[in-house]
Amino acid sequence: MYLDYFGFTCDPFSISPDPHFVFLSSRHREALAHLLYGTQSAGGFVLLTGEVGTGKTTICRCLLEQLPENTEVVLLWNPRLSVVELLASICDELHISYPPGTLSIKVFIDGINGFLLEAHSRGHRTIIVIDEAQNLHRDVLEQIRLLTNLETNTHKLLQIILLGQPELQEMLSRPELRQLAQRITARYHLLPLSPKDVEGYMAHRLAVAGGRLPVFPPSTIPLIYTLSGGVPRVINIICSRALLGAYAQGDDSVSPEMLRTAAREVFGATPGRRVAKRGVMIGASLLSLTLLGTWILLGTNFVSSIDLPAPATREMISEVTPAPAVATVTATVEKITEQKQRVESSMEPDALITVSAGEGRPLPEKPVETELSPKVEAPTEAIAVEPDPAIEPEDPFEWIRTLFDESGDETEYHTLFQSWGVQYRSVEGISPERFARQNNFGLVKQKGSFGYLRRLNRPALLRLTDLTGKEFSATLTAIKGERVVLQSGTVLREVTVSALVQQWLGDFTMLWQPPPGYRRVIIPGDRGEAVRWLARQFEILNGREAEAHKKYVYDDSLQADVRAFQASEGLPVDGLAGPLTLIRLNSRINSGQPQLERIDLALEER
């Protein structure tokens, strides 16, 4: 209903598991690293637990994409099965034949064992994934354990991955299931997103959906975290309802009150308040137990007159009893670190960004003379002006004070646009994002390291802090080895990289030129003018001749070009052509755009 209104190409907050929207936070990547280690060990069980909606199934899907082709996978999404039904389901998934109507457990076990031995002889591994495993009956869990008894001298022939809610940990801690618990080679408890991850999660989904306006202002992100508790599914539900409210009221963005209203409509009392009430009850119960224990230790005669907590209270108390180390594995730290690094390098999203390149209407496109982006002659004076102090000032913090004094709403974006040859004018009712769109630019807002900023090699507006912690902005206009040039208003200062990093919050805003027809992140399967432009850039970059009358589509070949380019440029390798990938691609081909460091492209390619 609101997709066209906000310029989305698809629903940014659908709860369907669309792989294009997969966002792996640091916690998700760590969980995936543990699971990858577990699946590559000698066998046994791998355990992943987490609250409802935290992303367990998403991690499982990412894991399956990482498994080698010689892996046979059984997916069981409905765990409410009897022992016979479970074994029959496994046989069905592995295409193991059995007599129709048989209820003999031995028949199923013999068939499964025969399959495992034959698969092992061919160098294949077999993994069974069971979702919502907290619903498994104890007898079924015991039968699953017995299935893993078949093994060689060095490897078990079957591996089991259990996904479930925190109750699964409690189940596995019972004495009757201790044999199964001892076979868990990797375990991880997935927590909700942190406040920082919520910001990245929101930006990623909005960018993939082709959002133009900053629909959720930065001031709403902390509230979204508070209302949702950092649970991705709850974030999606609240934000979807809030977008509907903004659409109904004819607003361009979501306000804090809209978010609170959305949370009340969806959940009654807001999730945060429910959690708070539950915390008070648990805290009161724990206090009662503490007092009770104190009286017992003191040997007072009051104990005989005190009733023990009711069963319902005991259940609440058990929920806060610390579980066994949920983020540890039996593997060595070195192996886990190696797996984690591999996952981070292969699964990192292209950019956790807010892209503002329009408002749901086509971008105005200036005529182009070639297949390349329009070349912008950067005014050399914008970045060639010598800073006032040629050497370090006696006062090492003088540069902070002078830049802070010159900063303000009127000058914040002036230098950034000036570096592209555009005179920025602050007009009431026209945001910097809209002004950028009117001048055929997009605006990228992101967090990153200085090294990442250096690789992008574009002037950027940085968020800094003064000595009292107050925030202000200055534009990074040049990099000179281990020194940088910053400008605020008419004041320029040259400082060391280390001095800048100490005062920089990690946020930056950057202008870029979207290719013709660009509406959102370009993904496999896309067609159109933006895809044609992307393909032509790689034809030029790789010295290939363009095919006449070719219908360009983002196919496997083009995705391979994108991945190879991302790897060569030190970007996250995900095969998606987002703003940061396109910025680097423009840098390699269109040397007329402004740069922080002047680089000879011919020398760069040698």
In CATH terms, the superfamily for domain 518-591 is: PGBD-like superfamily/PGBD (1.10.101.10)
What are the distances in angstroms from CA 210 to CA 207, 490, 556?
Answer: 5, 36, 22
pLDDT of residue 280: 40
Task: Report the distance separating Cα 298 and Cα 290, nearest Å.
Answer: 12
What pLDDT is attached to residue 235?
A: 95
Q: What's the rounded Cα separation, in Å, for the pair 407 and 576? A: 36
Residue 43: strand pairing partners: none
0.75 cut: is pTM over it? no
Pair type for strands 184-190 and 44-50: parallel
Q: For residue 64, what are the CA distances in angstroms to 39, 57, 71, 348, 393?
A: 10, 11, 9, 16, 57
Distances (CA, A) of 73 to 112, 165, 318: 13, 22, 35
DSSP labels, 44-78: EEEEEEE-TTSSHHHHHHHHHHHS-TTEEEEEE--
CATH label, 3-18+193-268, candidates 1.10.8.60, 3.40.50.300, 2.70.240.10, 1.20.840.10? 1.10.8.60
Which pLDDT belongs to residue 461?
A: 92
For tokens 């005529």, name the residue: 367
Tell how far CA 512 is from the center of its chain.
23
Number of helical (H) and strand (E) elements in the chain, helices listed first:
25, 12
Rounded to the nearest 10 degrees, how much is the dihedral formed by the CA atoms of 353, 201, 567, 516? Answer: -40
State the Cα–Cα distance between residues 330 and 254, nearest whole angstrom.
Answer: 46
**Residues 9/210, Cβ–Cβ less than 8 Å:** yes
Report helix, strand or coil for 262.
helix
Q: In what order do the strands lie in the sheet with 158-164?
A: 71-76, 125-130, 158-164, 44-50, 184-190
What does DSSP assign to residue 397? T
Which pLDDT does position 230 carry in this prediction? 93
342/327 Cα distance (integer angstroms):
18
List the CATH code of the domain at 26-192+324-345: 3.40.50.300
- Tell how far CA 285 is from the center of its chain: 37
Q: Kindly state the DSSP code that residue 247 receives in the 8-state scheme.
A: H
Instruction: Give me the architecture of the 380-512 domain, per CATH.
Output: Alpha-Beta Complex (3.90)
How distant is the alpha carbon of residue 478 from its chain centre?
Answer: 31
Question: What's the confidence (pLDDT) of residue 24?
Answer: 85
Is 157 within 8 Å of 43 (Cβ atoms)?
yes
Q: Which element (helix H / strand E) includes 508?
A: strand 504-512
Residues 6+ apart with CB under 8 A from 484: 476, 478, 494, 495, 496, 497, 500
With 0-12 CB in 10 A as exposed, 13-18 as middle and 19+ as buried, what is 318? exposed
Domain spans of the chain?
A: 3-18+193-268, 26-192+324-345, 272-309, 380-512, 518-591
The amino acid at residue 294 is T
Residue 394, number of CB atoms within 10 A of its CB: 7
User: Is residue 317 within 8 Å of 289, Cβ to Cβ?
Assistant: yes
- Tokens found for residue 110: 């013999």
According to DSSP, the residues that pair with 250 across neighbouring strands are none
Give whole-number Cα distances, 449 to 452, 481, 506, in Å. 5, 16, 6
Please check whether the two domains, 26-192+324-345 and 518-591, share a CATH topology: no
**CA neighbor of 578 nearest in space, from 448, 454, 446:** 446
pLDDT at position 591 is 61
DSSP of 447-505: E--HHHHHHHTS-EEEEEE-TTS-EEEEEEEEEETTEEEEEETTEEEEEEHHHHHHHEE
In 3D space, the residue among 169, 204, 215, 226 whose CA is nearest the CA of residue 50 turns out to be 169
Tally of CB atoms within 10 A around 265: 13
DSSP 137-178: -HHHHHHHHHHTT-B-SS-BSEEEEEEE-THHHHHHTSGGGH
| 500 contacts 458 by C-beta, under 8 angstroms | no
Torsion sign (Cα): 371, 374, 379, 382: negative
Could you give the C-alpha distances from 287 to 186, 277, 292, in angstroms and in order?
35, 15, 9
> DSSP code of 20?
G
pLDDT of residue 333: 37
Rg (CA), the chain: 29
Which residue(s) pair with 26 in the sheet? none
DSSP three-state, residue 354: strand
* Burial label, 152 (beta-carbon count in 10 A; 0-12, 13-18, 19+): exposed
* Contact indicator for 105, 83 with CB cutoff of 8 Å: yes
Could you list the mean pLDDT of each consecutive 10-residue stretch along the chain, which spans 606 residues? 80 81 86 84 84 88 83 87 92 92 91 92 91 91 89 84 92 89 88 91 88 80 93 93 88 90 79 43 44 41 32 32 33 41 39 36 36 42 42 55 67 85 77 85 83 87 80 89 87 86 85 87 87 89 74 87 86 84 83 73 39
Amino acid at 574: D
